Amino acid sequence: MTLKSRPGSLGKRLTPYLYLSPTMVLMIILMLVPIVIVIGYSFYDNVIMNKHPVFIGIKNYAEILTDKNFHQTIYNTAFFTISSVVFHMIIGLTFSMLLNSKLLHQTTRSIFRVIYVLPWVFTAAIIAILWRLMLNPNGIVNYFLNIFGTIDSKVEWLGSRDTALYAVTFINIWSGYPFYMVSLLAGLQGISIDLYEAAEVDGANSVQKFLYITIPQLKPIIVSMAMLDCIWTMQQFSLIWMTTGGGPIRATEMLSTYTYKLAFSKYEFSQASSSAVIILIFSMLLAFIYVRKQKARD
């Protein structure tokens, strides 16, 4: 049972793979195989609906990339993803700093931590339902805005082209920041107190401590999370689908809803696969940059 690396070079070279083997087995069987199948699908005229699919090369890709609705989709997805990631980060960092404040009693902190983590514990369907109710023209949000005299008409937050994309992004920010907050909270615990004490001796104020100690110390976590969040947000589906269905008039159409409609509304499974592969390529690009960056840091 000993894994202590033996001098034998083969054993030594294999050790890291031994530790990785359970992950690899799962990932290869359950993730790589289906992905390869999907990539395969994307080169046929149509699968699942057709008994005898015909190989057509990259025609599906050409069709999608020249679809004018697809361009709108890219814009929406970029806006949605970048805003979500940026605000997740800002809000997550702010809240985790506040919750980590030594000025507060431990019980106070515990209570606030539980409140702040609330948006995270609900399934997408219920978040969508809840916000649809609140942002309904006759909902509580309009009611408060009316009372405080900010508006006097019924704003259709999710039903108007002008506001729907912002509203959906807002909901996604709300539902996603606790994930950052919790991870950063854990990260903050790892920063040695000595660093801060040393800085205090040098006469650093809190802003300086934040900029020169906290941020650099958290940077690896922040970068990893931002990259993963980009990948996840890019394919966020349920929340958008159940709040707006991509509407009104494609105002909130994202790569994910676009892909879904290709698959289960038009039954063009091959085109949907191509669209999925396009998303995969984007993400691989991100992952590539991330890994390169990591290498540079090492």
Partner 1 sequence: MKKNLLSVLLSIVLLASFLTVPVFAEDPITLEFSQWWEPELPQGAFRQLIDQFEEQNPGIKVELLSGPYSSTKEQIVAGAATGTMSDVVGLDGAWVNDFVKQGAITDLSALMKEAGYDESQLASQIQLNGSTYMIPVVNFASLLFVNNDLLSGAGIEKIPSTRTEFFEAAKAITNAEKNISGWILPISLETPNGIQNDVMPWAWASGKSMMKDGKPDLLNADVKSAVEYVKSLYDAGVIAPGAFNMKEQDKVEEFTNGRVGMMFDTLAHINLIRERNPELNFSVAAAPAEDSYTGERGITYASWGIGIAENSEHKAEAWKLVEFLMSQDINAKLATIANAFPGNANAAPDLSKSDPLFSDAFKVYQAGHPANEFVGLPVAEDLMRSFDEEFQLMLDGDQTVDEMLANAQAAWEKEF
Partner 2 sequence: MSKTTGRNIGKIIVIIMLLIGAVYAGFPVVWMFLCSFKPNTEIFAYPPTFISDTFSLNAYRSILTNSEKIRFFLNSYFVSSVVTILTLFVSVLSAYSFSRFEFKLKKTLNMLIISVQAVPPITLLIPYFGLIVALKLYNTYWALIFTYMVFTLPYAIIMMTGYFNTLPKELDEAVMIDGGSRLLALWKVLIPISIPGMISVGMYTFMQAWNEYLFALTLTKTIEMRTVPIGIQQLMGQHSYEWNEMMAMSILGCLPVLLLFLFFQRYFIEGMTAGSVKS
Asked whether position 174 contacts partner 2 by CB under 8 A, the answer is yes
CA atoms of 288 and 298, how far apart (whole Å): 15
Asked whether position 94 contacts partner 2 by CB under 8 A, the answer is yes
Nearer to partner 2 by Cβ, of 161 and 243: the residue is 243
**Where do runs of H (alpha helix) occur along the chain?**
9-27, 33-41, 59-65, 68-99, 106-117, 124-135, 140-147, 164-189, 193-201, 206-209, 215-234, 238-243, 255-264, 269-297
> 111 to 150, contacts with partner 2 by CB under 8 A?
112-126, 129-131, 133-134, 136, 138-140, 143
Write down the least CB distance from residue 18 to partner 1, Å.
Answer: 4
Nearer to partner 1 by Cβ, of 76 and 183: the residue is 76
Asked whether position 101 contacts partner 2 by CB under 8 A, the answer is yes
The encoded tokens of residue 130 equal 């809840």
| Close Cβ partners of 240 (under 8 Å, ≥ 6 residues apart) | 80, 168, 172, 246, 252, 254, 256, 257
* One of 10, 103, 201, 207 touching partner 2 (CB under 8 A): 103
* One of 264, 265, 266, 267 touching partner 2 (CB under 8 A): 264
How far, in Å, are 93, 159, 170 from residue 96 at the CA level?
A: 5, 34, 20
Write down the least CB distance from residue 148 to partner 1, Å.
Answer: 18
> 241 to 270, contacts with partner 1 by CB under 8 A?
241-250, 261, 264-267
> 7 to 26, contacts with partner 1 by CB under 8 A?
18, 21-22, 25
The encoded tokens of residue 181 equal 């907050």
Find out whether the peptide bond into 178 is cis, omega within 30 degrees of 0.
Answer: no
The residues of the shown chain that bind partner 1, judged by CB under 8 A, are: 1, 3, 18, 21-22, 25, 48-49, 51, 132, 136-138, 154, 156, 158-161, 164, 241-250, 261, 264-267
